[in-house]
């Protein structure tokens, strides 16, 4: 199952779907693509319905309003039911093609979690600095080590999925919760491109 939180992504979904589909077809596993519309104001939901009519492997979940990326991801986790669960952003900053390498690492090394880690942080100065300070402090005060440059671009297996389904927190932070669960995990590296189209959904 592929989980894709979407907030105002109408201009990205066609390209995103084509690239993801190419990768998934190559892997030769049964799959579903679960798009979560997180209260978009544009035509994201109409686009998801259009794609679903074309391809029955596509599932759409529409949240009643904008809850934020982590809650959209949780809606996908609650719906998902598969051996492997892949989550990534819809704006093509997370290259879908990386799934092949992530899956092969998971299988050959018996990993439960494979995180994709960006090689270089090309965010703007403000985000880069505040994010660095946040992770620095968090890692100082917490026993759970959270890797810098890792987002929610990851592959998990069904064991981790089962545990995540039981977590019922309102203030979700998956990149902390998943290492906290303690399963066997490792990283693959990738170059993070700029957002393909549209604008970031994060406010200050």
Total interface residues for ligand UDP by CB under 6 A: 17
- One DSSP character per residue, 84-140 reads EEEE--TTSSS-GGGHHHHHHHHHHHT-SEEEEEESS--S-HHHHHHHHHHHHHHHH
Phi and psi angles of residue 133, each rounded to the nearest 5 degrees, phi first = -65, -45
**Residues 82-121: x/- map of binding to ligand UDP (CB under 6 A)?**
-------xxx-x----------------------------
Three-class SS state of 5: strand
By CB under 6 A, is residue 185 in contact with ligand UDP? no
Q: Judged by CB, which is closer to ligand UDP: 38, or 157?
A: 38
Q: Could you give the strand order of the β-sheet that contains 150-157, starting from the edge strand earlier in sequence?
A: 58-62, 33-37, 2-6, 84-87, 150-157, 113-118, 185-190
Q: Which of 2, 33, 48, 69 binds ligand UDP (CB under 6 A)?
A: 69
> Could you tell me the two tokens for 45?
């939901």
59 lies in the site for ligand UDP, by CB under 6 A: no
- 108 within 8 A of 23, measured Cβ to Cβ: no
Per rule CB under 6 A, is residue 68 in the interface with ligand UDP?
A: yes
Contact flag: residue 47 with ligand UDP (CB under 6 A): no
Residues that bind Mg ion (CB under 5 A): 91, 93, 195
Nearer to ligand UDP, 135 or 183 (CB): 135
Residues that bind ligand UDP in the complex, under the rule CB under 6 A: 5-7, 9, 38, 66, 68-69, 72, 89-91, 93, 195, 200-202
């Amino acid at each position: 199952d592929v989980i894709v939180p979407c907030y105002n992504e109408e201009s990205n979904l066609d390209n995103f779907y084509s690239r993801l589909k190419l990768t998934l077809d190559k892997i030769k596993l049964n799959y579903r693509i679960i798009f979560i519309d997180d209260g978009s104001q544009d035509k994201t939901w109409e686009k998801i319905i259009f794609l679903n009519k074309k391809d029955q492997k596509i599932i759409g979940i529409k949240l009643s309003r904008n809850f934020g990326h982590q809650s959209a991801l949780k809606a996908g986790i609650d719906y998902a039911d598969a051996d492997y669960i892949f989550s990534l952003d819809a704006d093509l900053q997370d290259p879908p093609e990386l799934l092949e390498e992530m899956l092969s690492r998971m299988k050959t090394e018996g990993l439960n979690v494979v995180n994709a880690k960006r090689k270089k942080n090309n965010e703007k100065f403000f985000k880069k600095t505040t994010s660095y300070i946040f992770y620095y402090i968090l890692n100082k005060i917490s026993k759970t080590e959270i890797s810098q440059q890792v987002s929610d671009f990851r592959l998990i297996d069904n064991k981790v999925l089962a545990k995540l389904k039981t977590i019922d927190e309102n203030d979700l932070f998956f990149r902390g919760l998943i290492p906290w669960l303690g399963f066997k995990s490792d990283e693959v590296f990738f170059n993070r491109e700029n957002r393909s189209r549209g604008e970031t959904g994060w406010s200050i």
